[in-house]
Amino acid sequence: MRTSLLIDGDLVDGGAGGFDTINPATEEVLGQVADGDVDDMDRAIAAARTAFDDTDWSRDTALRVHCLRQLRDALVDEIEHLRSITVAEVGAPVALTYGGQLQMPVDGLGYIADLAESYEWTTDLGMAAPFGKPTRRTVVREPCGVVGAVTPWNFPHQINFAKLGPALAAGNTVVLKPAPDTPWCAAEIGRIIKDRTDFPAGVVNIVTSSDHRIGAQLTEDPRVDLVSFTGSTATGRVVMAAASQTVKKVFLELGGKSAYIVLDDADLPAACAAAAAGVAMHAGQGCAFTTRLLVPRAHYDEAVATASAAMSGIGCGDPADPGTLCGPLISSRQRDRVEGYLTLAIAEGGWFGCGGGRPAGRDRGFYIEPTVIGGLTNEARVAREEIFGPVLVVLAHDGDADAVRLANDSPYGLSGAVVGADQNRVDWVAARLRTGTVNVNGGVWYAADAPFGGYKQSGIGREMGLAGFEEYLETKLLAKGVQ
Ligand code: NAD
């Protein structure tokens, strides 16, 4: 298969030719992708600008709702094709494609269409007489304009649709620049939009590219009104600085180093097993995964042993196998990065409860064994920096307040978890975590109507839910003089 760019309603080749997309479980070339260049991105931005400025798209809510439902239905119709691409290109365990890796984000388009349909676009503030002038005031919510969306490879459908859905529902036009590692997941959405929906030309543009600069172009172009970026905190800083030149609205979903807190009255074995599974999943390539396990100091050794037994039991395997939880990492570059952190863990005085390198007997695929690191404090770099691999660092705490202190002692603030028997203590801890989401005694925060995002260096703004929709709106006040 060879995929195309979607620009101004046409499926076209890339100016820079083509590039390969790779299966990370086998290292084989899956096929080709159109390689967008500077001119392609320029035309995509121009098309989005024209579709916003010169058509009724931004004012026609019924058309937008219709198109989003059509897209959802067409995606459902092609779900098995999309599933096979997602497993092959992302290395996503197939079991996860029935949830956050595919099905739930597709279903989320239905949620966002319903939300746009029922949304109160105007609010009557009533009469007032500022400076003695009788005035009727109305607040109007309007789309921002052209949205530049830049996304990573780890949960491509979740992140692409969490931007496309609300941005389009709100009446914006979009240029999507997906990650070079997972271009098919986005390009196939472009084909489906072109072939199976009534989205007007230029409303959605998708530019795959092997060159990160093509993403940067979106952040610099004055015709783009808002940049919605998900990726690493390092790139997020660059995006924010670039967007400042034209004072764009910037929405950032960045990295994390979230804590899983086990209080001293919790079921320790069950908590450690749950924490291990949460980090082994998709080889740890989740921004909100709880990669620091904070356990009572008196039970530290038992916790490391239990988490290690759970991690070893999970192992890693072929993502196409329905029993696999931990597949490969996305690329050799990412595996090198994770191996660098494993070397660093030992250099910092840590030790492996299990794992610590590549699995024996697998000479193809970018695999790393699920790994538990013990013997370190929260000052260690492997406890502070995002590894983005199946690596759990176990740390000791000295009670509830100390656990809160350690959890919050991080540059990040994306997510967290706390488990314990005494609900009052659990609630006390949860209320003090400086993170955008908290799993409280096993609750699940991921849903189409639930806002998701980070405090501190994990980001700015919220994705999903009503808050995620309103990120893509401007507020206008109409003040009508009354005689
Ligand atoms: P990355 O930051 O390297 O790349 C993300 C995207 O940005 C890619 O499409 C890339 O081409 C593009 N890009 C690179 N340089 C750019 C620039 N200067 N200007 C504009 N775009 C540029 O991230 P990654 O390695 O693809 O993804 C992993 C990271 O994403 C992790 O740090 C992870 O925590 C984060 N992430 C965050 C969330 C969240 O919601 N908070 C979700 C998933 C992933």
Per-residue pLDDT of 9-32, as tens digits, reads 999 999 999 999 999 999 999 999
Q: For a pocket test of ligand 1, which of 212, 246, 253, 341 has the largest count of ligand atoms closer than 8 A to its C-beta?
A: 212
pLDDT value at residue 100? 98
How remote is the CA of residue 231 from the centroid of ligand 1, in Å? 2
pLDDT value at residue 300? 98
The residue among 327, 238, 314, 317 whose CA lies nearest residue 276 is 314
* Rounded CA separation 417/442 (Å): 8
- Tell me which residue has tokens 């529902």: 169
Predicted structure pTM score: 0.97
Residues 275-283: what's their mean pLDDT? Answer: 98
How remote is the CA of residue 32 from the centroid of ligand 1, in Å? 22
pLDDT value at residue 49? 99
Tokens of 351: 């030790």
> 393-424 as b/e, with b when 16 or more CB fall inside 10 Å?
bbbbbeebeebbebbbebebbbbbbbbbeeee
| pLDDT over threshold 90, residue 244 | yes
| pLDDT over threshold 90, residue 483 | no
How remote is the CA of residue 128 from the centroid of ligand 1, in Å? 47
| pLDDT over threshold 90, residue 243 | yes
Per-residue pLDDT of 176-195, as tens digits, reads 999 999 999 999 999 999 99
* Rounded CA separation 281/139 (Å): 45
How remote is the CA of residue 430 from the centroid of ligand 1, in Å? 28
Whether 212 is in the pocket of ligand 1, judged by its Cβ within 6 Å, is yes
Tokens of 211: 């060159």
Tokens of 147: 């949205």
Residue nearest to atom 30 of ligand 1 (CA): 231
Q: Clarify whether 253 is annotated catalytic.
A: yes
Per-residue pLDDT of 90-111, as tens digits, reads 999 999 999 999 999 999 999 9
* Rounded CA separation 171/60 (Å): 8
* Rounded CA separation 196/75 (Å): 9
Check: CB of residue 205 under 8 Å from CB of residue 174: yes
Check: CB of residue 256 under 8 Å from CB of residue 412: yes
**Relative to the CA of 414, which ligand 1 atom is closest?**
41
Q: Choosing from 188, 253, 463, 471, which is the catalytic residue? A: 253
- Give residues with Cβ within 8 angstroms of 192, minimum separation 6: 71, 74, 75, 78
Q: Is 350 helix (H, G, I), strand (E, B) or coil?
A: coil
Whether 436 is in the pocket of ligand 1, judged by its Cβ within 6 Å, is no
Check: CB of residue 291 under 8 Å from CB of residue 258: yes
pLDDT value at residue 334? 98
pLDDT, averaged across the chain: 98
Q: Specify the DSSP element, H or E, that contains 394.
A: strand 391-397
Whether 317 is in the pocket of ligand 1, judged by its Cβ within 6 Å, is no
Whether 264 is in the pocket of ligand 1, judged by its Cβ within 6 Å, is no
pLDDT value at residue 86? 98
Tokens of 95: 């079991």
Per-residue pLDDT of 429-471, as tens digits, reads 999 999 999 999 999 999 999 999 999 999 999 999 999 999 9
Per-residue pLDDT of 382-417, as tens digits, reads 999 999 999 999 999 999 999 999 999 999 999 999
Whether 231 is in the pocket of ligand 1, judged by its Cβ within 6 Å, is yes
How remote is the CA of residue 232 from the centroid of ligand 1, in Å? 4
The rounded percent of the chain whose pLDDT value lies above 70 is 100
Q: For a pocket test of ligand 1, which of 154, 214, 224, 239 has the largest count of ligand atoms closer than 8 A to its C-beta?
A: 154
pLDDT value at residue 132? 97
**Relative to the CA of 255, which ligand 1 atom is closest?**
34
Per-residue pLDDT of 204-226, as tens digits, reads 999 999 999 999 999 999 999 99
Split at pLDDT 50, 70, 90, the class of 44 is: very high
Domains and CATH numbers, the chain: 2-254+458-481 (3.40.605.10), 259-440 (3.40.309.10)
**Relative to the CA of 252, which ligand 1 atom is closest?**
41
Whether 154 is in the pocket of ligand 1, judged by its Cβ within 6 Å, is yes
Residues 268-286: what's their mean pLDDT? Answer: 98
* Rounded CA separation 120/379 (Å): 48
Q: For a pocket test of ligand 1, which of 230, 412, 462 has the largest count of ligand atoms closer than 8 A to its C-beta?
A: 230
Q: Are strands 249-253 and 18-22 parallel, antiparallel or unpaired?
A: unpaired
